[in-house]
A and B are shown apart, each in its own frame.
Chain A
C-alpha cells in the first residue's frame, strides 16, 4: 500500500519543528496542572482511604473536560491553514497538476493534523492510567472518551479544511472556523434556551435537536451517561446546558447520535473541500448540469 505522500511530508515537517514540541509540552503541562489542582481540591475527602473511586472519577472528569476543550481549540488551528497555506506559498497548483487526486490531498492534510491530535491524546495516557489505578473507571469508558475525542477532532478539523479551501487566506479561514465552532458550542445553546423559553416555558424534557451538532452537549451527555449527573454533569454549569438531561432520554444515547452527526458533518465538509480544489470540476452542482 502506498502511504499518502502529503501525509508523509506533513508529518516529517511538523514533527521536527519546535512548534510541535512546544504544543505537546504546553498541552501536558496544562493537563498536569489540572490533575494536581483536582488532587488538592479533593485532598480533604481523601484521608479515609488511599483508594478512592470518588476521587478518581472527579479527576477523570476534570482531565477529560480540559483535554476535550484543548482539542476543540487545537484541531481548527492545525487544519485551517492546510489548503490556504498551500495557496499562500503557491504550492497548491504544483500538487494539483500531478496525478494525485484532490481527495488524497484533502485526506492527507486531515490525517496529518489528526496524527498530531492523536499524539496529544496518547501523551495524556499516563495521566489517565494514574486515575485508572485509583479504580472506579473502566477501560470501556476511557475508550469511549478517546473515540469521542477523535471523532470530534475530525469534525473540527474537517470544518477547518473546508474553510481553508473556500477562503484564500489562512487567517480568514481560521477566524471562520472558530466562528462556526463558537456557534456550534454556544450559538446553538442560545437558540435552545430562547426556543424552549418561548415555546415550552422551560418545560422541555428531551435533547434539543440542535444539540446534535453541539460538541459540548454531546460530551456532557457522554460523561453523564458514564457517571451520572453528579460528576458527568459538571459541564452543565455552562448556562443552558442543564437542559441536556440524557437520563430522561429514551433510545440511543445522545452522545452516540452526536458522534454519527459529527462523522456526517466531516464527510460533507471533506467532500465539498475536495470538489472545490479540483481545478477541472464543473462546479459543485456539476451532476445537475450534465446534459
Chain B
C-alpha cells in the first residue's frame, strides 16, 4: 500500500529525513515511533504532498506519490499533530466543508457525515460549535475529517498526544474499528507503549532513519534478550523490593502502585527461587508473571537513550 525508498529531506545542511525506507502492506496498522525531532512528521507531510522530498521514492497503491501528487490525494486521509479547526463553524458544517473540498457527492454527503460522527462518537454534537468541544472531541472530529472522502490510507500524526487516558482509550477503540473497515494506517507517536497494543507492526525511527522495523515480537527477538517480570503485591511493596534486590540476576526494578517490574536474566529455577523467597518472607503476592518484554525498554535501547528533557 505504501512504499518508501531512500527518502531524504534536507533543511540547509541538516537532514530531517535521511535515507528512510518503509513498506506497509494493505490492512496493516503501522506504528511509527521515534523521539521528538526524529523526522516522523516530516515524512508524513511528504507522503501527503505538503512538503517536497529532497530525494527518494514514495509509492501509494502503486502510484508514484512524489510525481503524481494529485492522483494519490484522494487515497490519503491525513490527520496532523495539531487540531486545525475553524472554531466559528458547527461540527456538521466543518465536515460538510471538507466534504465539498474533497468533492464528495452531495447525495452521499449527509450520510457520510452521520456515519462518521457515529464512528467517532460525536453523533450528539452535530450542531455544536467546534469551539465548544473538548480536546478529545476536537481530536476525534479531526479524525472524522480525515476520513470524509473514504481514503484507503490513513496517516495519523500523534493522534493520542495530549489526550487524557479516557480519551486515549476512546481513540484506540476507533482505530480498531478503522482497521476492521480495512484501512491501512500509519500512526506515529513518541511513546512506544501508546502504539504497542494497537499496531500490527512497528518501525522505530531515529535521526531520520528507520532503525528497526517488524512485528512487535520480531523486534523483541532481535534486540532484547532479557525477560521482564511483573509482580503484584497486596501490601509490603518496599519489603518486596528489598528482597528482589538480593538477587544478582534481577535489575532495573521499577515500582508502581502495588506493582513491581524488573528485568530478569536467569532460568526457570531462578524464577521459582524468587517467588519462593517472596512468599516465605510473608509478602502477599497476588500475581507473579513473566512478560514478553517491555517495548519502552526496547525503544530506549534502540534510540540510545534518545529521551529528551
Contacts and interface: CB of A to CB of B under 8 A. Distances in A.
B49 A9 contact: no
A230 B30 CA distance: 77
Contacts of A13: 86, 88-89
Contact of B50 (A8, A9, A97): A97
A9 B95 CA distance: 11
Interface stretch (A86-94, A150-158, A251-259): A86-94
A248 interface: no
Interface residues of B, number: 30
Given A13-B86, A279-B50, A280-B52, A98 B80 contact: no
A290 interface: no
A9 B49 CA distance: 24
B82 A9 contact: no
Contacts of B70: 99
B83 A98 contact: no
B52 A97 contact: no
Contacts of B101: 5-6, 95, 98-100
Contacts of A95: 101
Contacts of B83: 90
B103 A99 contact: yes
Given A94-B145, A99-B70, A279 B93 contact: no
B103 A2 contact: yes
A12 B93 CA distance: 10
B80 to A, nearest CB: 6
B279 interface: no
Contacts of A12: 93
B97 interface: yes
B89 A9 contact: yes
A96 interface: yes
Given A90-B82, A99-B70, A279 B103 contact: no
A129 to B, nearest CB: 35
Nearest to A94: B84
B199 to A, nearest CB: 23
Interface string B77-97: 010101111111100010001
B69 interface: yes
A17 interface: yes
B275 to A, nearest CB: 53
A59 B72 CA distance: 59
A13 B96 CA distance: 13
Interface residues of A, number: 22
Contact of B84 (A2, A6, A90): A90
Nearest to B52: A280
Given A96-B50, A97-B73, A99-B73, A89 B85 contact: yes
A97 B100 contact: no
Given A5-B101, A17-B88, A94 B80 contact: yes
B76 A97 contact: yes
A206 to B, nearest CB: 49
Given A5-B100, A17-B88, A99-B74, A93 B93 contact: no
Nearest to B47: A97
A91 B48 contact: no
Nearest to B155: A97
Interface string B144-156: 0100010000000
A12 B45 CA distance: 30
B128 interface: no
B225 to A, nearest CB: 43
Contacts of A279: 49-52
17 contacts: A2-B103, A12-B93, A13-B89, A17-B88, A89-B86, A90-B82, A93-B84, A94-B78, A94-B145, A96-B50, A97-B48, A97-B50, A99-B74, A99-B101, A99-B102, A279-B52, A280-B49
Question: Which 8 residue pairs across A and B have the least CB separation, nearest first?
Answer: A5-B100, A90-B84, A90-B82, A97-B48, A91-B84, A9-B97, A98-B101, A279-B50
Given A6-B101, A98-B101, 18 more contacts: A5-B97, A8-B100, A12-B93, A89-B86, A89-B87, A90-B82, A93-B45, A93-B50, A93-B80, A94-B84, A96-B49, A97-B50, A98-B149, A99-B70, A99-B74, A99-B101, A279-B50, A282-B52
Interface of B: 45, 48-52, 69-70, 73-74, 76, 78, 80, 82-89, 93, 97-98, 100-103, 145, 149
